[in-house]
Structure formats: structure tokens, C-alpha cells
């Protein structure tokens, strides 16, 4: 059996985090996480995936060579502060380990938010901060093959992951990382501009399809799109059925995109459109919560029906 290449902490083990952890395990990396504060189901799912579960952040920091932060955007700063707080204890969390801990923030945040998070690490010489983002779906093993379908991970900052001393180049290759430049915020900005197109389109599709359904013309709309823009029809329907379980995460991501376009792009008023897009996903998240989960929304009628009902119920209450 080949020797373990490095230890990677994954925070947290959601759909994306689990996929990345499984990819790393398949490529010989050791993966650890702290799910001691998560549900029994999450802890069981994590252990069944051969991920080592530690009991504290102190233990996680002590074991990991790298930590990948993959959390909802609203939790990105708090997660960084949580890891940094470990270094404020009197006891050294990494005794005998002379190498710095690499902390890669791979969350969907604006460049300004990324810079603010990066600034938290400036006084901690034992941690190297890396700005990043994830473009695409979770890693998945191609059926009947040893090949993995992987998302792209752009990164930026003065310290490329490929330069890290402990299997850094191999880790960067496995994670499909492309280092953009030496500035914190560049990679997050790239992620924002990509997500604006993909998730912005899905928000428009949600509004278009539910409105057509209310008018009783959804089949006709689908027929016309199929005739004149078939790729858009497939993309819209895939987006609508795929986003319900993730809608709650996308609310803050849309706000972060608006901030990116306002601050970096110079669109002070027009960027407000993404505040409105955020409200679309907020309404979808409400519909999911009202149903007690996204089950039954994997198909177009279920997704549109749940959202339409939630919208109508909201109109009655107002």
C-alpha cells in the first residue's frame, strides 16, 4: 500500500465537501474533519466514507497539513475565526510540526469578503491563507472507470498551493487547482462572475416557469423553447430541479455576487439585481422548508408546484 501523501482537513462534509474528501482518499491522501457538533446522521455518513472524525478543532489543526473551508457563504468568516481561535490557546496546537498550516477558503464569497477573511490570518505566521472558489459540481467517479469528474478550483494569493512542502503540487493537481495570481480576492471574483451567469439564469428560469404555470401556458412555453432554444430548455429544467436543496446556501452567495459587481465592477446600482436574485432563492428555500425538505422536488412538476404554492400562500398572508 502506498504511503499517505498528506493530511487534509475538510470543513465541512456537505455534498461538495464529501465529494472532495472521497476524491482525496482515492488518491492516497488522509482526510480528517470535526463533525462532533453535527447530527448523528452526518457523523455516521462521515465515518462510513472512511474520513477520520476528530473530537475538536484543536485536534483537527494538530493533524492537518491543509484545511479546506467549504461552508455556506454566510459561515465563511466565522469558520476562519473558529480555526484561528485554536492558535490563541497557550498550548501549541501543532507541536513538533515546523511546517505552516495551509488554510484554503473555497467559499462563494466576494473579493472584499475574501480580503477581510485573509486579513484575519495576517498576524498568524503559522497559517498560510489561500483564496479560492469551486466551479462545477462535486467530484464523482465515472461509472466503470477509475477516472473522476472534477470541478475546477481557481486560487489566488502570494503562496500557491503547488509550492507547499508536503505534497503540495500533487494535491493541487488532484484538486484541479489553477492558481490565477498573487492577490487575495481574484479567485473569489472569478467564482462570482461565473456563478452570476449560471445561478442567475436558474433564478430567471424559476420565475419564468412558475409564472407560465400560473398562466396555464407552461407546456406551450416549453414547446417554444424546445423549438427555438433547446439548449436553454435543458439547462433551465436541470437548474430548476437541481437547486432546491441548495437554495438556502445560494441566498448569501447572490448577495456576495452583488457586492463583487458593485465594488470590483463599478456597478453600484445595477448590482442590486442580485439582491433580487437572492430573494428568489430565499423564496425557494422557504418552499423547501415548508415541505420539510426537497424530496419530491427532483422532478420539474414537484419543484414548480412547491414554489408556486409557497408564492401563493405568501400572497394570501400579505
Q: Is residue 279 within 8 Å of residue 225, measured between CB atoms?
A: no
Q: Sort 185 into a burial class: Cβ within 10 Å, 0-12 / 13-18 / 19+.
A: buried
The beta strand positions in the chain, using DSSP E, are: 7-11, 30-33, 52-53, 66-69, 101-105, 127-132, 140-141, 148-149, 153-156, 177-179
> Rg of the chain's alpha carbons, rounded to an integer?
21
pLDDT band of residue 1 (cuts 50, 70, 90) is very low
Under DSSP, is residue 142 helix (H, G, I), strand (E, B) or coil? Answer: coil
pLDDT band at 81 (very low <50, low <70, confident <90, very high): very high
Residue 14 DSSP one-character state? S
Q: How far is the C-alpha of 166 from the C-alpha of 101, rounded, in Å?
A: 10
Alpha-carbon distance of 250 to 277, in angstroms, equals: 9
56, 104 in Cβ contact below 8 A? no
Bridge partners of 7, per DSSP, are 30
Distance CA 210, CA 216 (A): 10
pTM of the model: 0.93
pLDDT digits (tens, 9 = 90+) for 185-202: 999 999 999 999 999 999
| SS3 state of residue 305 | helix
What size, in residues, is the chain?
318
How many CB atoms within 10 Å of residue 72?
Answer: 18
The gap from C-alpha 231 to its chain's centroid, in whole angstroms, comes to: 25
The C-alpha cell at 25 is: 482518499
Instruction: Transcribe 15-68 into DSSP letters.
Output: HHHHHHHHHHHHTT-EEEE--TTS-HHHHHHHHHTTPEEPSSHHHHHHH-SEEE
| Cell numbers representing residue 121 in the block | 490570518
Please tell me the predicted confidence (pLDDT) of residue 3: 58
Question: Is the per-residue pLDDT at 91 higher than 90?
Answer: no
* Protein fold of 7-183: Rossmann fold (3.40.50)
Residue-wise pLDDT tens digits, 47-69: 899 999 999 999 999 999 999 99
Domain 189-317 annotated CATH 1.10.1040:
yes
Residue 2 has pLDDT above 90, yes or no: no
Segment 287-308 shows an average pLDDT of 96
Task: Please give the DSSP secondary-structure letter assigned to residue 272.
Answer: G
| Terminal-residue alpha carbon distance, the chain | 64
Eight-class DSSP state of 87: G
Element (H, E) at 149: strand 148-149
Domain locations along the chain: 7-183, 189-317
Residue 137 has pLDDT above 70, yes or no: yes
Amino acid at each position: 500500500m502506498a504511503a499517505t501523501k498528506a493530511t487534509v482537513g475538510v470543513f465541512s462534509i456537505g455534498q461538495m465537501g464529501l465529494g472532495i474528501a472521497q476524491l482525496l482518499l482515492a488518491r492516497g491522501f488522509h482526510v480528517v474533519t470535526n463533525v462532533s457538533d453535527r447530527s448523528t446522521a452526518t457523523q455516521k455518513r462521515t465515518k462510513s466514507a472512511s474520513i477520520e472524525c476528530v473530537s475538536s478543532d484543536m485536534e483537527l489543526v494538530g493533524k492537518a497539513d491543509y484545511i479546506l473551508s467549504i461552508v455556506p457563504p454566510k459561515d465563511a468568516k466565522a469558520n476562519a475565526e473558529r480555526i484561528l481561535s485554536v492558535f490563541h490557546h497557550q498550548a501549541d496546537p501543532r507541536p513538533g510540526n515546523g511546517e505552516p498550516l495551509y488554510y484554503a477558503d473555497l467559499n462563494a464569497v466576494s473579493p472584499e469578503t475574501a480580503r477581510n477573511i485573509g486579513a484575519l490570518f495576517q498576524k498568524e505566521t503559522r497559517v498560510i491563507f489561500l483564496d479560492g472558489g469551486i466551479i462545477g459540481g462535486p467530484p464523482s467517479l465515472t461509472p466503470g472507470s477509475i477516472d473522476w469528474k472534477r470541478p475546477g478550483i481557481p486560487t489566488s494569493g502570494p503562496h500557491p498551493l503547488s509550492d507547499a512542502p508536503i505534497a503540495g503540487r500533487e494535491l493541487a493537481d488532484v484538486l484541479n487547482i489553477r492558481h490565477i495570481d498573487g492577490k487575495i480576492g481574484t479567485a473569489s471574483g472569478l467564482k462570482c462572475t461565473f456563478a452570476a451567469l449560471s445561478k442567475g439564469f436558474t433564478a430567471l428560469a424559476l420565475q419564468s416557469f412558475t409564472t407560465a404555470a400560473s398562466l396555464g401556458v407552461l407546456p406551450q412555453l416549453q414547446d417554444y423553447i424546445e423549438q427555438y432554444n433547446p439548449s436553454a430548455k435543458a439547462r433551465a429544467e436541470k437548474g430548476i430541479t437541481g437547486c432546491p436543496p441548495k437554495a438556502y446556501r445560494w441566498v448569501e452567495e447572490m448577495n456576495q455576487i452583488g457586492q463583487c459587481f458593485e465594488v470590483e465592477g463599478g456597478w453600484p446600482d445595477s448590482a442590486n439585481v442580485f439582491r433580487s436574485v437572492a430573494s428568489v432563492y430565499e423564496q425557494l428555500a422557504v418552499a423547501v422548508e415548508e415541505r420539510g425538505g426537497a424530496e419530491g422536488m427532483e422532478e420539474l412538476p414537484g419543484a414548480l408546484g412547491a414554489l408556486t404554492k409557497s408564492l401563493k400562500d405568501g400572497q394570501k398572508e400579505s
